[in-house]
Amino acid sequence: MEKQLILLRHAEAVEKLAGETDQSRSLSRKGLNDAHHVGILLNKLELNIDCIYTSPAERAQTTAQYISGPLAIDTSLIFEDDSLYLAPMGVLLKFVNEMPNEYNTVIIVGHNPNLSYFTEYITNHSVTLDTAAFARIRFAFDNWHMVTQGSGELLEVVNI
């Protein structure tokens, strides 16, 4: 059995307003449309997504919700994790290594530049993830604990 990981950068957010926290920034109208479009693109891949993990930032949560519709993923399978907010590479690696092995195909919705750096680390391919872009990575093993530097095969990068 293999594992697949989709690393998805949140869709375009509105600019931070005075007095607003970075975490509370919402998606722009373009971001809402792009997130829905990403869900449609992912659905066409017929991947059987087991769950979605998301940063607690509003823009990431909304992206996760908007992609879940076209994927027909119940919102109970969207898990918010505080460690994913602006997570550095080491935190992302630890997070992936500790994901339940019952999940074979997982989406993580997070932030740049760290998602791009993490993609490069686990695939040995330099990528830049624009807003609402994703990298799809395959691992030729069935244990998330085995994910390490260069262990993944970059199948595609899709920038909307």
Residue 127 is predicted with a pLDDT of 97
| Residue 18, pLDDT above cutoff 90 | no
- As a whole number of angstroms, the distance between CA 95 and CA 105 comes to 15
Give the domain ranges of the chain: 24-111
Q: Please name the amino acid found at residue 69.
A: G
- Per-residue pLDDT of 67-101, as tens digits, reads 999 999 999 999 999 999 999 999 999 999 999 99
Q: What is the pTM (predicted TM-score) of this model?
A: 0.97
| Residue 160, pLDDT above cutoff 90 | no
9 is in an annotated binding site: no
- Per-residue pLDDT of 20-73, as tens digits, reads 898 999 999 999 999 999 999 999 999 999 999 999 999 999 999 999 999 999
- Per-residue pLDDT of 113-147, as tens digits, reads 999 999 999 999 999 999 999 999 999 999 999 99
- As a whole number of angstroms, the distance between CA 92 and CA 106 comes to 13
Position 14 confidence tier, pLDDT thresholds 50, 70, 90? very high
Q: Looking at the domain 24-111, which fold is it?
A: Rossmann fold (3.40.50)
Query: What's the Cα-to-Cα distance from 151 to each of 1, 29, 80, 81, rounded to whole Å?
Result: 15, 37, 26, 24
Residue 119 is predicted with a pLDDT of 98
DSSP classification of residue 106: E
- As a whole number of angstroms, the distance between CA 59 and CA 47 comes to 24
